[in-house]
Chain A
Amino acid sequence: MTRISVKVDGVRYSDDVEPRTLLVHYLRETLGKVGTVVGCDTSNCGACTVHVDGRSVKSCNMLAVQADGREVTTIEGIATDGGLHPMQQAFHECHALQCGYCTPGMIMQAIDLVGENPDASEEEIREGMEGNLCRCTGYQNIVRAVQQAAGVMAGQAASSSQAGE
């Protein structure tokens, strides 16, 4: 067993884990954060996407011990008291899902994408989401949701930087 200390969705946890434990299994089975799901065995589908130190990773392709000392954000940590994250809200409003299995990973990857490229074109959005597979929607509404959320997030960034001036 190896002792790890990791901040997940704003809360610090210390746990003994077997080194072979995948981060996704630590999140789901030790911490009970079952919002992050497993959709494949090959690191292709992206359903397990979370952020580690602010950047998207596939949590099925990382060991829990590799997250020691780092900060992890899952789909369960992005809503605030004020309500859903703009990306969650946009997926809801644009109906960017059918079965919903890919949705947690789609939302986490989309937040990373918009953070890196706030003005992403449709093509850039499609490319930036290439590591996330959806077997239901045909992707059209997912792209629309990312575009809508990008607009809302840009507005929020502008108003918070004005407030800070």
Chain B
Amino acid sequence: MIPVAFDYVAPESVEDALAALAEAGDEGKVLAGGQSLLPVLRMRLNAPERVIDLSRIANLRGVCEDGDHIVVGAMTTHHEVAHDPLIRDHAAVLAEAASTVADPQIRHRGTLGGALAHADPAGDLGAPVLALDAELVVTGMGGERRVPATEFFTDLFETAVGDGELLTAIRIPKHTGWGGAYEKFVRVSHQWSIVGVAAVVKGSGGTVEQAKIGLTNMGSTPLRASAAEAALAGASGEAIAAAAAKAADGTTPPSDLNGASDYRAHLARVLTRRAVDRALGA
């Protein structure tokens, strides 16, 4: 299908994009890679009057270092995230998760910022960003603010990005020397996660010192598996399996055609054990 007609602007700076957004008010919609928005417009589930394309803003794209953080521009594509050497060195779980999103063609256009702002609970990039304790840089007319990942995702398809604001960058504390693994469970290739688990693990010789676990599609937002994280500290061997068994504690995963709630809880436990083992190099 063809979208409802709209006006199109492609500003070349964040300032101009914010001005265009303010002018359009409720009728404006931001376009990043378009890989979620264009299907929505084509199905006419949304019909904005003005579309503001961020793709001509050069400084929203790319990865750089800032002291003990790496900073990923919101318009950096999934393909770039998956292959970027800084991300692979300091936030490996994010690179791996990005490489599991959709298919190569969609990864060439879809962006990290777009995926996080879209906040689909089955999306693969929220869990790693949460596990890495990232901060999301949200910019408005009044300047920028940094929102911890724990406060960014507020509900199904809802985030801390307010009206007239843009997600401009993702700041990730360097996890140099930590292991990372993303375990995604799907029944056919090129599908959204039924459940996904992002593990970021510090440890050696088969013993976990500290582990941070993010869960995909175990609730209306990405979640941290806090009970499992606490039990993983100092764990090795069988204790890792016992800790992973707590991965679904406190969650109320959805039931849908892909899996019932208790099946998702089972998947979260199994995938957490696999992800921790792999991140630990066991």
Contact = CB atoms under 8 A, between A and B. Distances in A.
Interface of A: 2, 18-22, 25, 41-44, 46, 49, 52, 55-58, 61-63, 65-66, 68, 109, 112-113, 126-128, 130-132
Contacts of B256: none
Contact of B189 (A18, A109, A130): A130
B5 A20 contact: yes
Given A43-B106, A62-B38, A65-B8, 20 more contacts: A19-B5, A19-B51, A25-B2, A43-B39, A46-B103, A55-B79, A57-B105, A58-B109, A61-B38, A61-B106, A61-B109, A62-B34, A63-B38, A65-B53, A66-B55, A68-B10, A113-B104, A131-B102, A131-B105, A131-B190
B190 A130 contact: yes
A19 B3 CA distance: 10
Q: Which 7 A-B pairs have the closest CB atoms?
A: A131-B103, A19-B8, A130-B190, A130-B189, A20-B3, A55-B108, A58-B105
6 contacts: A19-B8, A22-B2, A55-B108, A65-B53, A112-B104, A130-B190
Contacts of A66: 34, 53, 55
Interface in B102-144: 102-106, 108-109
Nearest to A46: B105
Contacts of B6: 19-20
A130 B41 CA distance: 24
A88 B252 CA distance: 50
Contacts of A131: 102-106, 190
Contact of B34 (A18, A63, A109, A126): A63
B106 A58 contact: yes
B10 A57 contact: no
Interface string B1-31: 1111111101000000000000000000001
Contacts of A57: 105, 108-109
Contacts of B102: 131
Contacts of B53: 65-66
Contacts of B109: 57-58, 61-62
A66 B7 CA distance: 13
Contacts of B4: 20
B261 interface: no
A40 to B, nearest CB: 10
Contact of A49 (B31, B39, B105, B189): B105
Nearest to B42: A41
B219 to A, nearest CB: 25
A56 B39 contact: no
Contacts of B34: 61-63, 66
Nearest to B53: A66
Contacts of B43: 41
Contacts of B38: 22, 43, 61-63
B35 interface: yes
B8 A2 contact: yes
Interface centre among A42, A58, A61, A65, by most B CB within 10 Å?
A61
Contact of B104 (A19, A25, A68, A109): A109
A2 B109 CA distance: 22
A122 to B, nearest CB: 14
B192 to A, nearest CB: 11
Interface string B158-196: 000000000000000000000000000000011000000
A127 B189 contact: yes
Nearest to B7: A19
A163 to B, nearest CB: 30
Contacts of A52: 108
Nearest to B41: A20
